Structure 1
Amino acid sequence: MRNRSLADLDRVVTLGGGHGLGRVMSALSSLGSRLTGIVTTTDNGGSTGRIRQSEGGIAWGDTRNCLNQLIAQPSIAAAMFEYRFTGRGELAGHNLGNLMLKALDNLSVRPLDAINLIRNILKVDALLIPMSEHAVDLQAVTAAGTTVDGEMAVDQLTVLPTHLRLTPEVPATREALHAIATADLILIGPGSFLTSLMPLLLLSDLSQALRRTQVPLIYIDNLGRELSPAAANLSLIQKLALMEQAIGRANRIDALLIGPTRDASGVTDRMIIQRPLAAMDEPHHHDRQLLRTALDDALQSLG
């Protein structure tokens, strides 16, 4: 892979939750169908949480968020998919995109097929795969032995839990495993560490796929401080340790992309790309062009 750029790759796979994954995918959208996102499906807040509470099923919010960020051309279909109801009625706060995806789910359309149908309507070339097509939630256990259920509650923890797991145990989507097995490059992050990134790695077959593949794995760190008190206090080396413990392979992460003020002390035996990456208008978001350039540089240096 020496001297190859992102444009030369046949298959780039990126993992994460809605906001961060959508940003990365929009930065790499020129790759078209050579780009695949594997999306976390444990959200239980907002419109998604209300739908799950009343109807069950997987969380659609992160997938919808990614699709929104990948829409290249304004259209009535795009406006419908992005529409959020206002007012005080039962629909208030619901996003029409979530309801459309859930409606397809209720019609017994396979979740991945539902996403592909919406992708075609919105003219989105990049592929999106839910991490699992089975309903699953995030669960944490505190040092005091208390069980904390749901992504929203985990995000509110002030101290890092002693144990993080998915309940029930579910398989990863088979296309997600195939995407990882055939990838030329794998990216993870940015995103809420405990609730957007770790759930993916808690799927045993997905972490096994990451453990087995030999292609470069690059971690993209957040630029801003996390809202989750527990995650906000994690050092870079702690994040790497938690991710690699879940994957089951030391030094599996080959390179890190971090902002200029991030403390990387203690991180050894892997490449660190540290430079300004922030968007001018939203400093906690990555600038798409700066991110793509940094990934190109990392890829060429990794050889």
Structure 2
Amino acid sequence: MTALTTRSVLDEAVISVDAARLRAEVDGTVIEATGPIELRARLAATVYTHLHLRNPLLGETAGGDGQDLAPRLIDAIPHRTVLQPAPSGVLGSATVQGEERRVVELGRVRVLVPEVDLVRSADGAVAGVRLPSWRTRTTPGYLLALGPMGLDPADRVVRLSLVADSAEDALALWGPLLEALAASGARHQAKALSDPRAFPRSDALVVYLPADSADDVARRITPLLDARPSPRTAVSAFAERLADGLAYAEDPADERSSYRGLSFGQHRSRVLAEALLRSSAETIPAADAWADAARAARIDPDRPGLTAR
């Protein structure tokens, strides 16, 4: 995967930090705190909205959990259901409101499903369960579309992020994007912002897929982006820009307990914020502090969309 440009993340915004005075500023947004922990949290949140989301107006909350766009996003999904494997088969039965249900195990969780949703092999054994191909609120403010084949736990998952300046821009891209993914045959999941108040945003649409499929899928997506006016919103400062409005990044590989569970943007923003605070407190160059922090977090300091190997 080749980026169009490589630029230091430290050049993406004008940031000043005064750790002693508990004060910082990011592109004109002033941050003041009552203590070091609050300053770190607020600086990381501001870096997140300015450098990752590319929408400072979202504020530190970075949007809500609205699902106003969900019906239109769901209508564009080309397949209505996905097959969820149920390797343990039927484990029992139960009656719910007068209707018979089967007990199956999905992802180590036992659930009740109607017989009609079970998929059986030629010998009658249960192969899996048909489930809706979308999920709401898996990620706040997004709708998630599951690919027909899903993702394999053994996959090294990466992401392709698409910029959208508005809800209509995202809706116009969503259907063709899903069609391109279906044509590629790649295992994938894709999500789209479902809250119209959260635009513009650098990650309005995100595709998760195996690393070995990323080049082919990116080539299929690029013509969709070329057919629209160039977005006013930039891609994330932490990602690899592949085209106007398209970026590539690898999932965080930071094994430190306090960094687990963070999204890509949250992880990069926190690591950069901590580096800038150390630079101020210890009076060392910001580039040196960032390089140290990035390596500790398994980030390539020169290309922060990539994992340091």
Asked if these proteins are the same fold (TM beyond 0.5), I'd say no
Structure with more strand by fraction: 2
Q: Is the radius of gyration larger for structure 1 or structure 2?
A: 2
Q: TM-score, normalized by length of structure 1?
A: 0.30
Normalising by structure 2, what TM-score?
A: 0.30
Greater helix share, structure number: 1
